[in-house]
Amino acid sequence: MITDTIVAIATAMAPGAVAIVRLSGPQCFSIVQTISSIDLTNAKGYTIHHGYIMENEQPVDEVLFSIFRSPHSYTGEDVIEINCHGGMYIARKILSLLLGAGARLALRGEFTQRAFLNGKMDLSQAESVNDLIRATDEVNANSAMRALRGSVKRILAPLLEDLTQIIAQIEVNIDYPEYDDVHQLVQEELLPKVKTWNENLHQLIQTAQKAMLVRDGIDTVIIGRPNVGKSSLLNALLEEDKAIVTDIAGTTRDLVEGDIRIGDLTLHLIDTAGIHTADNQVEAIGMEKTRAVLKKAQLVLLVLDGHEELREEDRQLLEETKSYNRIIVYNKKDLKETPNTLSISAAQGDLSPLIQAIEEKYAEGVLSAKSDTFNNERQIALAMQAYHAMEEVQHSLEDGASVDLVTMDLQEVWEALKQINGEAGRENLLDEIFSRFCLGK
């Protein structure tokens, strides 16, 4: 049981028009009363009251007190938000007075943690609060908003319902064999249910992985031999002269990075040193860095010179990157058209064929990011854990195991999925199972 009252400044610590100091907990009214010019003891929830913050009978600031009564508040506890004038001194001064009156400084995320502990939101919704705050684009903001409104719980609900029905049937068959009117679930009936169930979960995982790539941004490496126009392409995409461009081979000897938006996509661009036979140690180090980032690339833009015939370095790069997710780009089409290729002119800023190719490649991922799906690595990892546990159930049944022998694996699946929303526990499973049956016991 939570017995202390926490306080924190809920707005940015910077000069501004208004700052908010938030309290939550059972003593928030008595604590605020010690520094308030007005009596808030009987103030109703969802009301705002004008008053002053007082210290030694002297006004510190003119404020508004926003009142939220338990359980109808963000945290589920009594909450008071003090809207004071912006600026670091005033907000800190009020915070200091409240700490002196008995409140405790809140830990990072503690207001949302209390909302979770008090049943105001599940764990996936709590995570989405932070995602919404940190969102830097519309895709991420919309995804976080859907999760905050329960999208993860919605996609899990049918899976958990089917799984609970299966486990419940098995448990009843084991614990109450004397009930002849209860259907006996057999291996031949369970196996197809398990296969279909796991296929549905696998589809959700794949959708989530595609969505994560779009939401997090795509690590994109620009690669090619010297003087094919890699740095020109980077500059054209960034619309700034970030990389040095000359006719001298080997100008780029270190990694040059930048982020761009293409429609709903974010690309984390890395321009690399040209791959060729190094003339000195500095160039060799640059190419080592190129190959190191290439190993981690999620998208490779392999730039070739459309004005010249392919060289041996080009052929080597085509072979070296054939297993990567790549787009082959023929640059310098202003000097020579290359038929039946994706041709651009980085020098003239003519990148539309490349932009279109990138958007088409990730169109499915963008759709996934705009749909209800798992929202982070923790959720995907737990879904994968459930998937692999259900695979074990499937393999056991295919090997002829009886239905009662797969119960523990099925419970592991259930608990992994429930952990996504922070609701796991065998006691919860038993409650769900036996609330579905009226057995007269």
3-state secondary structure of 353: helix
Give 24's contacts (C-beta < 8 A, 6+ positions apart).
5, 6, 7, 73, 74, 75, 77, 78, 79, 106, 111, 114
E strand residue ranges, 56-110: 58-68, 79-85, 104-105
Q: What is the pLDDT of residue 136?
A: 86
Give 20's contacts (C-beta < 8 A, 6+ positions apart).
9, 10, 11, 81, 82, 83, 84
Q: What is the pLDDT of residue 281?
A: 57
Q: What is the pLDDT of residue 66?
A: 98
Direct distance between the N- and C-terminal alpha carbons of the chain, in angstroms, rounded to an integer: 33
Q: What is the pLDDT of residue 89?
A: 93
Q: What is the pLDDT of residue 439?
A: 40
Average pLDDT, consecutive stretches of 10 residues, N- to C-terminus, the chain (441 residues): 91 90 97 97 97 96 98 97 93 97 94 93 92 89 93 94 88 64 74 95 95 92 90 88 46 70 92 65 66 89 93 93 95 89 93 96 92 93 96 93 88 93 66 49 41
pTM of the model: 0.82
Specify the DSSP class assigned to residue 108.
T
Q: What is the pLDDT of residue 404?
A: 83
Q: What is the pLDDT of residue 323?
A: 94
**Rounded-to-integer distance, Cα 429 and Cα 163, Å:** 11
